[in-house]
Structure 1
Amino acid sequence: MNPAARLGPFRFTRRSLLGRGAVGFASAAGATLLNPFRSLAQSSTPETRVAETKYGRIRGLRENGVFAFKGVPYAGSVSGTNRFKPAPPPTPWIGVRDAMTLGAPSIQPPGGTYGIDEPAPSEDCLSLNVWTPACDHPKRPVMFYCHGGGFTSGSAGAFFQDGANLAREYDVVVVETNHRLGLLGLLYLGEFGSDEFAGSGTQLLSDLRHGLEWVRDNIGQFGGDADNVTIFGESGGGWKVSCLLAMPSAANLFHKASIESGPMLHGLPQDRAAATTRAVLQQLGLGPNDWRKLLQLPAADLLKAQVAILSIPKSGPDTINLWPVLGPTLPHHPFAPAAPPFAANKPLIIGTCHDEANFFLGKDLAAYSLTTESLMERLTGAHGEHAHAIYDAYHRSRPEDSPTDLYIAIETAQRFRTDSITLAERKVAQQATQHDAATYMYVYTHGCDELVPGTQHKRGAYHSWDVAFRFDNLFPGGDGKPKSDLQAYLLKAIGSDEASRAASIQTAHNLSEMWATFARTGQPAAKGQPAWPAYKLPQRATMMLDANCRVVNDPEPLERRVWADLPRDPS
């Protein structure tokens, strides 16, 4: 491996994680209130299992009641001369390769990964994890998770998205990949390089496609059904799912999808991507003719340049950004009305958390003491002449809400909710003219009672709070003792009294069962909860996800309409 490919170990602290909004969570839920920590007896001699793959045999470990295969190569080296290029196949091996420890996540800024006992980030990061009830051949549904963290951070080893509970409780196979992030995954060289870089700017997406190809070719050896694959992802993972739904080369590799707090409607045009590349070269002291030096620089230098250019204040259409680039891999903006309807025949779940913005406003303490006047100042700065229309719509919709509550709702809609509705309605339009593949809309409402630090305002159902619930991962396994500050935070945040914990456990059961049932049948459902109707116009049926779920038609119509009436990008 290229010595520039590995970066030194990163440490994370309670401050670095909780200050960012407490993204993470733990594993192994589904227990009784008297003893909420499920204790799965482990023998003194760990049980292992050998499985066959296209590239060689691997040995996994039985843990938490399932077989886990970790750090499995699904593609080859992407460092050195392979940097910024499509990944080659893995190098086959002889004998049995141990697959009992996590693979290295992609190089990223410190504090971006949330795993326990993960290796240091590395440029050569293309490995995946598989959780399966058994390595037999009953053709279980496959749930392929795209991790969050935008396009610059995260990993397949984060403990709050551990796949063991989903696999064990619902008889599914869970797969998660590490893939290239940041500059390594999205730098565009089409304007500078030769034909070998013509598809650059989408390395991250190509990696995910390689992961899905690995599933197609190998998952039958792990008890999975290659003809029943669901892709799902939260936040940046939702962006990745949005792109996969628009990729012709991925269309036949999966069959259902879920976009969770991560709708993406736009790829990056090549001229803007080239401007980002020029900014990177300038940051590194290189001219356009020196672009090949990007192939030799230590990965740590690229990371420093990435952090520097992304810290430039964002404003206007020429903002520097790292985003999937429109081109051969991603030929159209996701769900653009004029684009071929690659996703028309795939059932889709899409939705958001009720209080997404509390994750992002945590350090903006002034946002939690707004007056009507200061709220209007913020809205005018962001929306100009439309500020009064936005305020009036939200004030009429929520007359009892404080200016801070209105601001959180407006920011949540602007960042997530509005684009989720747009994407859902474009998908509904596809199905109306092409195929009968339903769309399902949700709002996650089960909140966290923890306060935003430095305020008296509850976090509520903030961005990423739902991830551990969807994986049924509220509690640490085994002895129930948290193994990190973040696990300790979760145990506190889900509620200290019996009623709060009961509601959290029920919510986790609801989400995990709904998503696993969707993976199996194409229709989300959970025992004891109302039927989840498809999202159609004009009803706009929306499932409010909580301990006791309920269906609401067209929630907050005044708010939806005010955004629909604003000028939008025509793409």
Structure 2
Amino acid sequence: MPHAGRRGARRSAARAVRGRPRGLPGIPYAAPPVGDLRWRPARPHAGWDGVREAAEYGPSAPQPVRADPVLGGHGAPPLDEDCLTLNVWTPATDTARRPVLVWIHGGGFVSGSGTLPIYAGDTFARDGDLVVVSISYRIGALGYVYLGPDDDADGGNFWLTDQLAALRWVRENIAAFGGDPDDVTVAGQSGGAFSTAALAVHPEGRRLFHRAILQSPPFGVATPDPEESLRTTAALLEVAGVADVAELRALPWERLVEATIGMFGVRARWGQWPVPFLPVVDGSTLTRNPVEALIAGENPEIEILLGWTGNEAGFAFGANEMYTDATHAEVRGRFVESFGERGAEAYDVFAAAHPDASALDLLTDLVSDELFRLPSVALAEARAEHGRPAWVYQFDYATPAYDGRLGAAHCLELPFSFRNADRWSHAPFLAGVEPKTLDGLGAAMHDAWISFIRTGDPNHAGLPTWERYTAPNRATMLFDATNTAGTDPVGPAKRRLYAEGDGGR
């Protein structure tokens, strides 16, 4: 089945599919998940006759499209439930067998797309002589709703079945685009990093790639069991105004997107990062939280580059008026939620580490630890114990936007690792960043990612020596306006605090 790839920017109109009426653009990697295939695992695509023109992006998965005070927006029309397409960038369709990068977007499990210009793979293809694939997959209610063991949906986590189908496509077709199917790195950020880890411990997925880049994986989310997920489904039925799953199946996707917006309100709790839908530990597609599986030693052969931003939760709180005037009393209460009777002690430990910190800063630090830093450090230390140390980084550059309240927020490393800040002009979080920082820090990160994809080692001439993370050294590359080779990103005081109890999740 021949495929036509795409390079460069979106064009103004889709071209015809030779041999058939024109369908949606993009390269389909699975059957459209519509009609009877809604809330079913990804199925093989039926194929087509002749040559399919695929020089256009396909549609994004259905999702809320609205202004965002940090990113400026993370989804853009056109949207369509028929969204299982991918994009390919390659220096040449020859037999060079270049290393392959597969990018999985994040977005809190409800937004984002492989079609967004900010995730275009041309910078990696150009600068690293790589073949790059970005994918769109089901998100929000269409990707994460769990219908229960009595439904004939064959489990849950439809998003994961989509991603597995995309990796199968890469395995079967990427050589025709100049790529090496035996040299594949999967990378993702936030929800995409969670996806990458889930693929790495999946019995089939782990055989389809051998390197992983985990940018800000939210390993601290409490992955629900089927019973908990069914309660989320019941809440969705109520918000959508339908009586049962049969009526939910009949809703147009636009109504499901509206209900997703309503689910944010259902999930909202002060001082928590709201996520309407979560992956379900259904016992078949996902047997436990992927970080638990990796910590336990599953897939020890995979090479991992792992990191987070210094102030992840600045994304959720720094530009939110609900939190910008938070009081120390309110934040102390949030510490009690996490640490129980040790809440006051924990608050004092955090405050002592940053004597000039505001209440907002301390809340940001706590949630950043819980959702991102601590479980990622636990993975790095487990990998070291198993004799396969990871490469670990912390992105510490604090944006001047919003008078510095965002800090080194979630997603801020993306314009640097992709080295495409010019495509983020819509994003408020880059306001005030100096061009020399965009260029210098971008070159340092981008070249490190390319080096890791090509060799398994991120070191290059533009960085100080980057060592793997081991128990003795806790080596961590600190990406900032000036990059430094640091150690122990948690710090001794916090480490003692967390070691003494179950706080911080």
Please give the range of the TM-score, normalised by the shorter of the 2 chains: 0.7 to 0.9
Is 1:438 the equivalent of 2:389? yes
Q: What is the CA–CA distance in structure 2 between the aligned matches of 1:307 and 1:372, rounded to whole Å?
A: 30
Deviation at 1:87, TM superposition (A): 1.8
Counterpart among 473, 482, 500 of residue 565 in structure 1: 500
Task: Give the stretch that moved more between structures: 531-540 or 77-86.
Answer: 531-540
Is 1:209 the equivalent of 2:167? no
Distance 1:61 1:464, change over 3 A: closer
For 2:408, the aligned partner's letter is A
1:387 aligned residue: 343
**Matched residue count:** 483
Q: What is the CA–CA distance in structure 2 between the aligned matches of 1:114 and 1:175, rounded to whole Å?
A: 24
Is 1:541 the equivalent of 2:475? yes
Q: Which runs of 5+ in 1 are unaligned?
A: 1-54, 477-483, 496-500
2:411 aligned residue: 464
2:20 aligned residue: none
Deviation at 1:321, TM superposition (A): 5.0
1:508 aligned residue: 442
For 1:188, the aligned partner's letter is Y
Q: What is the CA–CA distance in structure 2 between the aligned matches of 1:206 and 1:331, rounded to whole Å?
A: 14
Q: Report if the CA contact (8 A) 2:5-2:88 is conserved.
A: no
Q: How does 1:30-69 map to 2 (within 5 A)?
A: 55-58=1-4, 60-61=6-7
Q: What is the CA–CA distance in structure 2 between the aligned matches of 1:212 and 1:512, rounded to whole Å?
A: 23
Q: Report if the CA contact (8 A) 2:66-2:73 is conserved.
A: no
1:18-77 per-residue CA deviation (whole Å, 9 max, x = no partner) reads xxxxxxxxxxxxxxxxxxxxxxxxxxxxxxxxxxxxx3331535669xxxx982111111
Q: Report if the CA contact (8 A) 2:119-2:134 is conserved.
A: no
Q: Report if the CA contact (8 A) 1:510-1:547 is conserved.
A: no
1:73-120 per-residue CA deviation (whole Å, 9 max, x = no partner) reads 111111001111112212222222222211111111123898999642
Normalised by the size of structure 2, how large is the TM-score?
0.87
Distance 1:545 1:131, change over 3 A: same
Q: Report if the CA contact (8 A) 2:312-2:368 is conserved.
A: yes
1:52 aligned residue: none
- Relative to its length, the structure with more strand (as a share) is 1
SS at match of 1:460: coil
Q: What is the CA–CA distance in structure 2 between the aligned matches of 1:117 and 1:204, rounded to whole Å?
A: 17
Deviation at 1:447, TM superposition (A): 2.3
Q: What is the CA–CA distance in structure 2 between the aligned matches of 1:401 and 1:282, rounded to whole Å?
A: 41
Q: Report if the CA contact (8 A) 1:102-1:118 is conserved.
A: no
Q: How does 1:238-257 map to 2 (within 5 A)?
A: 238-257=193-212
Distance 1:119 1:407, change over 3 A: closer
Q: What is the CA–CA distance in structure 1 between the aligned matches of 2:399 and 2:269, rounded to whole Å?
A: 33
Is 1:108 the equivalent of 2:63? yes
Counterpart among 342, 346, 351 of residue 302 in structure 2: 346
Q: What is the CA–CA distance in structure 1 between the aligned matches of 2:430 and 2:350, rounded to whole Å?
A: 34
Is 1:299 the equivalent of 2:238? no
Q: How does 1:280-359 map to 2 (within 5 A)?
A: 280-287=236-243, 290-314=244-268, 321-326=276-281, 327-336=283-292, 341-359=297-315
1:14 aligned residue: none
Q: What is the CA–CA distance in structure 1 between the aligned matches of 2:75 and 2:351, rounded to whole Å?
A: 48
Q: What is the CA–CA distance in structure 1 between the aligned matches of 2:323 and 2:239, rounded to whole Å?
A: 33
Q: How does 1:357-436 map to 2 (within 5 A)?
A: 357-365=313-321, 367-369=323-325, 372-373=328-329, 375-380=331-336, 383-429=339-385, 431-432=386-387
1:533-567 per-residue CA deviation (whole Å, 9 max, x = no partner) reads 11111321111012432111213222233234331
Deviation at 1:391, TM superposition (A): 1.9
Counterpart among 189, 193, 206 of residue 147 in structure 2: 189
1:407-462 per-residue CA deviation (whole Å, 9 max, x = no partner) reads 33233222321121123223334x33xxxx33111110122122x2xxx4443321
1:229-288 per-residue CA deviation (whole Å, 9 max, x = no partner) reads 11111112122122222211211011111111123265321111122222333444444x
SS at match of 1:213: helix
Identical columns (%): 32
Q: Report if the CA contact (8 A) 2:60-2:75 is conserved.
A: no
SS at match of 1:104: coil
1:41 aligned residue: none
For 2:50, the aligned partner's letter is G
Q: Which runs of 5+ in 2 are unaligned?
A: 16-24
For 1:180, the aligned partner's letter is R
Q: Which has the higher contact order (CA 8 A, sep 6+)?
A: 1
Distance 1:351 1:237, change over 3 A: same
Distance 1:381 1:123, change over 3 A: same
Distance 1:181 1:441, change over 3 A: same
Q: How does 1:16-95 map to 2 (within 5 A)?
A: 55-58=1-4, 60-61=6-7, 71-95=26-50
For 1:149, the aligned partner's letter is G
Is 1:494 the equivalent of 2:427? no
Distance 1:504 1:329, change over 3 A: same
SS at match of 2:160: helix
Counterpart among 457, 461, 471 of residue 527 in structure 1: 461
